[in-house]
Structure 1
Amino acid sequence: MTDYSEPTVALASGPQMPLLGFGTWQIPDSEATAATIAALEAGYRHIDTATGYQNEAGIGKALASAGLPRELVFVTTKMPPDNVGRERQTLEESLTKLGLDHVDLWLVHWPPNKQATPQAWEQFIAAQQEGLATSIGVSNYSLDQIDELITATGVAPAVNQIRWSPAIYDATIDSGLAERKVVLEGYSPFRASNLEDPTLVSIAEAHGVNTAQVIVGWHIKHQYVVIPKSTNPERIVSNAAGALVDLTEDEVTAIDGLGQA
């Protein structure tokens, strides 16, 4: 069986994060167990959820039934922006539902009130120091907001999870995060793309794959974390296989160009 625990990217806090993850946004709790089991059986070793998705309990059941050693599965969850002031309680509730004693990555899901909110970030740092979250990060933050957290606390987010795809590729964001040693994690890779784009189609044909797999391969080649989502077992397997698509530098450059189109 294929094991997608690699390739990985090193987080600033030390751990290795698998570049391929399984996204669970909009998967109801009643379907989350079966979908997550299918992903684990397909070789995914990184599961992404959030308090706001209301499916952590279903995912917890999948993790328990899979019986994989804890250290082999990288688990991310996120705190809703409205939960500022209840950070520790939120994380403890997530851990209970997931059946875990720590998550590998805990994110602030959106900037609370569209503000960086360093006081919440201080609580994330405290949770990391207690071992409840191995790494901490943010989602949907701007570079300026990340700088505000760094200035206030001296601690940079390990990850910024943002909407990302070839069609919205932005070299300024890419380089800005890299300069700050913040890993770029992309969500909605297909939703934010035109899967019938001629450039993607021609590259897919050259590799004997589909365009969704090309998009996953593009993320991997750039060392972006990518979390495709599906509840269809065949598509779950197919999406993962995109991590094995070895794009050439010229192909990556051509795909990057879709963002400037």
Structure 2
Amino acid sequence: MKKLVAHHEIMGRVHELEQVRAERVDELATDSLGALVKRLLGSFVVAAEAPNSAPDWKTIVPDTLAVGYRIKLQMSAADYAQTKADLNDLIALRNGLAHHFIDRFNLWCTDGCAAARVYLNECYGRIDGHFERLRRWAYVMEKSRALMADLVQTPEFSDFLIDGRRPDGTIEWALSGIDCALREATAELAIGGWTKLDDAVAFIVERYPGRTPREYGCRSWGQVLSESRIFDLQYRANVGDSRVAWFRERGTNTATHRPT
């Protein structure tokens, strides 16, 4: 039970993950069976109809590389209710053995000892059933962790994580290298929150020459901004009848800058 609770999820900065895991193991060392069941239900064991819960990233320091995952065993509402009842039965069984066994049987006579032996054999059967189920859950969890470890070492996962490229060729633009370069350009070149696209392109060509629209299936930088859906784009009047593109990341609350 402690292994399931300790290892089915983790979240933290990459260089601190082993410390986070060790602290979680230590935290659970003195938890009672009842406390462990409460932690397990709704976190590892979940009902199919329950809303998905995401890791709480509020504790992570901004601008640091962090990792979080949660392995869940999903079951129907009826199976979840039965599992919850079974685990509560295990708690009651444990408490009965730990606190009331001596009071329940007269161990100073042969008949009392015989009755206690029969009861203990019955309890062993119930405990063994619970143990086998927990053992299967632990096996599933370890297999899931192993499969995940294999996945993160594939080139496809690396392409997605580093550059937002999915195996089907589509782009997760928020993770893409070209959008990261555009955000970096805005951080250095923005005027009143807006960045001139020509200046941003020159910035990217100098620092990241391999990040071009064509590498991401686009014909122009304007299409990159449009496809990503994370930037606002404006065309402003320039000298004569020409217009110049300016952009900013969406959600930036700044006044529009109109160059003279």
Fold equivalence (TM over 0.5): no
Q: Which has the higher helix share?
A: 2
Larger CA Rg, structure 1 vs 2? 2
Q: Taking CA–CA contacts closer than 8 Å with sequence separation of 6 or more, which of the two structures ends up with the larger relative contact order?
A: 1
Q: TM-score range by the shorter chain?
A: under 0.3
Compute the TM-score of the two structures, normalised by the length of structure 2.
0.19
Compute the TM-score of the two structures, normalised by the length of structure 1.
0.19
